[in-house]
Amino acid sequence: MPISKQAMLAGAATVAGIFSFAAPAEAAVILCYVGGNAQPQCANTNVNVLVDQQTGDPVTAGDNDATTNVNYTFTSTTEALLKQVASGQADVASGDADGALQQISFNILNGAASLITFNLIPLGPQATIDDATSVTVSIAGQDPVVISGLAPNGQNFYGIVATAGEQLTGLSFGNFSPAGSGIQALNQVRLNLVPAPAVPEPGTWALMLLGFGAVGTAIRRSRRRNANTLLQMA
């Protein structure tokens, strides 16, 4: 069946729209703050990550929304064991003898978030190593974020937020400063989960295929015209 010009144009427009959506002009993943006066403040989250007193590496976790069906893990490259403390604060700490975390990653296995907030618990006076005063947060596909001025007592609430539609699938905390320092626990991880991308309807797929066909046809015709022009000039 012949393809109408209108269908070809619609398909080409669909393809162009997909490519333009896939590449935001000004992507940015930045640090935000939970409470206090520092700006920007983190927005609200929609799920809390929950732990259940596992010891191991990795350790798994869920959340407080039974409808999400999203799973999480915590892993470490420096600790032989991680230890979860389900005390209402959802701590993940080192299970090693020194009780100090020097690297920890939080991973969203089958979902993504636009915001992840967390609390970095300091070691306190009983520690055998120094409390960290800064940490580097690594984010897949993005520039790392450095958090400075960690308090040696109390709480250190922060967040990482995607400001241009990026999807966060985890955070990795490491390169603590000063060298050899660490924290006691990663605590109260909360997220703003984002919906999974919608699967295109069959009609949309058809328009996409028509669009690719239209683009290919236009390229072939352009090449033929150029070839004919060169022959005539010769």
Cα separation, 194 vs 45, whole angstroms: 10
Structural tokens at position 161? 């937020």
At residue 22, the pLDDT reads 40
User: Exposure of 42 by Cβ count < 10 A (0-12 exposed, 13-18 middle, 19+ buried)?
Assistant: buried
Residue 214: CB atoms within 10 A of its CB come to 20
pLDDT, position 193? 97
pLDDT at site 154? 84
Partners of residue 49 on adjacent β-strands: 63
Q: For residues 67-90, give the mean pLDDT.
A: 91
Q: In the numeric block, which tokens belong to residue 82?
A: 């991680």
Check residues 27 and 194 and name the one with the higher pLDDT. Answer: 194
Structure confidence by residue, pLDDT tens digits, 107-129:
999 999 999 999 999 998 888 89
Please tell me the pTM assigned to this model.
Answer: 0.74
Identity (one letter) of the amino acid at 18? I
- Please answer whether residues 93 and 101 qualify as being in contact, where contact means their C-beta atoms are separated by less than 8 angstroms: yes
Q: What average pLDDT does this structure show over 222-226? A: 61
CB neighbours of residue 153 within 10 Å? 11
Is pLDDT at 230 greater than 90 in this prediction?
A: no
